[in-house]
Amino acid sequence: MAMTIHVDIVSAEASIYSGLAEFVVVPAEMGEVGIYPRHAPMISRIKPGSVRIKKPDQADEDLIYVSGGILEVQPGVVTILSDTAIRGADLDEARVLEAKREAEEAMKNRTSAMDYAKAQAELAEAVAQLAAIQKLRKRIH
């Protein structure tokens, strides 16, 4: 049996995932971070994107979209705290495309720097969700 690490992913609404993994890939602020059992302790901010979890005795990785947040790594535990976390299978492409369109429209029609920054953040989130949907599609086909 492969070595494992315990992973907890928690959003503002609920615990999204709690279980063992052979490794986890997280979209950290400075780039993707691969985490294996006995990884050195670290804390990092994470950006919107897909967390990939390789469960023991399972060929495919699980994808969970996170909107950003905090990553904490201890030798036996990985904890991800995110405002929003959605299982890859629960992402709604039509809703995400509409949110992307609205954010792009808001960026064109900005009335202040604050509106523009908010629209930019919403656009980045929508693009990250679309990327997660595309990764899931590639695995299915």
Q: Are residues 14 and 52 in the same domain?
A: yes
**Which pLDDT value is given to residue 94?**
63
Q: What is the pLDDT of residue 136?
A: 64
pLDDT digit string (tens) for the chain, length 141 residues: 579 999 999 988 889 999 999 999 999 998 999 999 999 999 999 998 889 999 998 888 888 888 889 999 998 999 999 988 888 666 666 666 676 777 777 767 766 665 767 777 777 777 777 777 777 666 655
Write down the pLDDT at residue 55. Answer: 92
Rounded to whole angstroms, the Cα distance separating 45 from 69 reads 6
Number of domains within the chain? 2
Same domain? For 64 and 103 the reply is no
Q: Which domain holds residue 111?
A: 91-140
Global pTM exceeds 0.85: no
User: Which of 51, 13, 12, 18 lies closest to 34, judged by CA?
Assistant: 51
Residues 96 and 78 in one domain: no
Residues facing residue 78 across a β-bridge: 7, 73
Same domain, 117 and 83: no
Regarding whether 124 and 83 lie in a shared domain, the answer is no
- The answer to whether residues 84 and 15 belong to one domain is yes
What CATH number does residue 66 fall under? 2.60.15.10
Q: Across the chain, which distance is largest between two alpha carbons, in Å?
A: 58
Are 17 and 73 found together in one domain? yes
Residues 14 and 53 in one domain: yes
The verdict on 47 and 102 lying in the same domain is: no
